[in-house]
C-alpha cells in the first residue's frame, strides 16, 4: 500500500508542479514540490527507503520534464538519504524539524544546480549573489511553508500504517 500511495504522491506532485506552480511562481521561481514530498517521506521511512524514494522521484522528474537523465535524481537521492539518516535523531511528530530539513536541502540542491550549470557553461545571467536573493531565497521559503502544510498529513497517514512500517535500528 505504501508504494501505491508514494507513487500517487509523486504523480500529483509532478502534475501540480508542472502546471499550477509553473504559472503561479513569483518572477519565474516556483517550488519543487517533489523535493518537499521526498524529504517528508524520507523522514518517515528512514535512510535506505529515503534514498530509493529520492532516486525514483528524481528519475521520474527527469523523464517527465525532459531534463538530462539523472539531473534531478542527483539532487533528490542524497536529500532522501540524508533526510532519512537525520530522521533517526529527531522527533517525527515535531513538524518544525522536517521544515528546517527541507530548507537545508533546498539550499544545497539549488547551489548544486547553480554550480552544475556553471560547470557545463549553461548561460546564466545571474551572479551567485543574485541567484541566492532572487531564486533560492523565495524557493526556500516556499518549501519551508509547503512542508508545514504537507508533513502533518503524511505523518498521520504514517501513524495509521498507510505509509511505512516503523523501523527500529538493530542493536
- Report domain extents, the chain: 2-158
Q: What per-residue confidence (pLDDT) applies to 105?
A: 96
Residue 96 CA: distances (Å) to CA of 77, 92, 101, 124: 22, 10, 9, 34
Q: What is the CATH number assigned to the segment(s) 2-158?
A: 1.10.1760.20
How many CB atoms within 10 Å of residue 92?
16
Single pTM value for the model? 0.89
pLDDT tens, position by position, 47-78: 999 999 999 999 999 999 877 788 889 999 99
125: helix, coil or strand? coil
Long-range CB pairs of 152-159, under 8 A, 24+ apart, other chains included: 152/95, 154/40, 154/41, 154/44, 155/44, 155/92, 155/93, 155/95, 157/5, 158/44, 158/92
pLDDT tens for the chain, residues 1 to 171: 788 999 999 999 999 988 888 777 677 788 999 999 999 999 999 999 999 999 999 999 999 987 778 888 999 999 999 999 998 898 888 999 999 999 999 999 999 888 888 887 776 678 889 888 888 999 999 999 999 999 999 999 999 988 887 655 544
Amino acid at each position: 500500500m505504501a508504494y501505491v500511495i508514494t507513487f500517487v504522491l509523486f504523480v500529483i506532485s509532478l502534475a501540480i508542479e508542472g502546471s499550477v506552480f509553473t504559472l503561479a511562481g513569483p518572477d519565474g521561481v516556483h517550488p519543487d514540490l517533489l523535493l518537499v514530498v521526498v524529504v517528508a517521506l524520507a523522514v518517515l521511512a528512514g535512510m535506505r527507503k529515503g534514498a530509493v524514494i529520492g532516486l525514483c522521484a528524481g528519475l521520474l522528474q527527469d523523464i517527465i520534464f525532459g531534463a538530462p537523465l539523472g539531473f534531478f535524481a542527483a539532487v533528490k537521492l542524497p536529500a532522501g538519504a540524508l533526510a532519512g539518516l537525520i530522521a533517526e535523531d529527531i522527533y517525527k511528530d515535531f513538524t518544525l524539524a522536517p521544515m528546517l530539513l527541507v530548507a537545508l536541502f533546498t539550499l544545497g540542491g539549488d547551489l548544486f544546480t547553480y554550480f552544475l550549470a556553471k560547470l557545463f557553461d549553461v548561460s546564466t545571467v545571474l551572479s551567485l549573489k543574485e541567484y541566492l536573493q532572487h531564486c533560492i531565497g523565495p524557493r526556500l521559503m516556499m518549501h519551508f511553508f509547503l512542508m508545514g502544510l504537507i508533513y502533518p498529513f503524511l505523518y498521520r497517514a504514517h501513524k495509521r500504517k498507510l505509509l511505512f512500517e516503523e523501523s527500529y535500528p538493530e542493536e
